[in-house]
Structure 1
Amino acid sequence: MQIPVIVQTVGLLVLSNVFMTIAWYGHLKNMSHRAWWYAALVSWGIALFEYMLQVPANRIGHTQYSLAQLKIMQEAITLSVFVPFAMLYMGQPFKLDYVWAALCLVGAVYFIFRS
């Protein structure tokens, strides 16, 4: 049984976003007492896994989706990963602005995929 391209693409993009969000922001909680270059090296190590998922996601996705569709899909997934990370891991409060941003991205997804 072949896994549909959309499932492969979205699945890999979600996983890659988890790694990238941790790489970009996780050090703010865990390594604030360390030198910036140490946090950068650790983040690059984490980001390597992100690229190992992101590159195949885009290559698989590009067999059926345009570059613009892949980018908008990526941005929508980024917000859906970032908000729970910010709230649950980083302890940030929920803001109504998250909802408005999500609605803007829903609009972007609609317009980029409508034809």
Structure 2
Amino acid sequence: MWTYLAPILLLLASNVFMTIAWYGHLKFKTTPLLTVILVSWGIAFFEYCLQVPANRLGHQVYSAAQLKGLQEILTLSVFAAFSISYLGEAIKWNHIAAFVLIIAAAFLLFLE
């Protein structure tokens, strides 16, 4: 069971760092671009420290396509929570519809 769950938990944690690195700077529009790039790279380092082992461990029980599908579902979930809680942006009906379609596509990767 742990061999199936550990990669998912690591991917979830890596997505938190990735989302902060990619979108966290949007609240700091007056900060120089070079500064936010360097800070984002620093945050992304920790994302890679979690993502690489997640995929290495995960590939023992999931295909690469399945890992990518899991990644997309987790990315959307983390992004939606971040967008609402940190950026204060609403998730609209069309965002939800698009997310559902992406999740459905990722689900197809697990059909044998």
Q: Mark yes or no: TM-score above 0.5.
A: yes
1:110 aligns with 2:111: no
1:87 aligns with 2:89: no
Structure 2 stretches of 5 or more lacking a match?
none
Match of 1:26 in 2: 24
The list of structure 1 runs, each at least 4 consecutive aligned residues, that deviate by more than 3 angstroms after superposition, is none
RMSD: 1.1
Match of 2:35 in 1: 38
Aligned partners of 1:24, 1:10: CA distance in 2, in Å? 20
Aligned partners of 2:70, 2:51: CA distance in 1, in Å? 12
**Aligned residue type for 1:24:** W
Is the Cα–Cα contact under 8 Å of residues 24 and 43 in structure 1 kept in the other structure? yes
The alignment's TM-score, normalised by the length of structure 1, stands at 0.92
Displacement, 1:102?
Answer: 2.4
Is the Cα–Cα contact under 8 Å of residues 83 and 98 in structure 1 kept in the other structure? no
Percent of aligned positions that are identical: 49
Displacement, 1:105?
Answer: 2.3
Cα offsets for 1:47-96 (capped at 9, x unmatched): 00000000000000000111111111101110000001001110001211
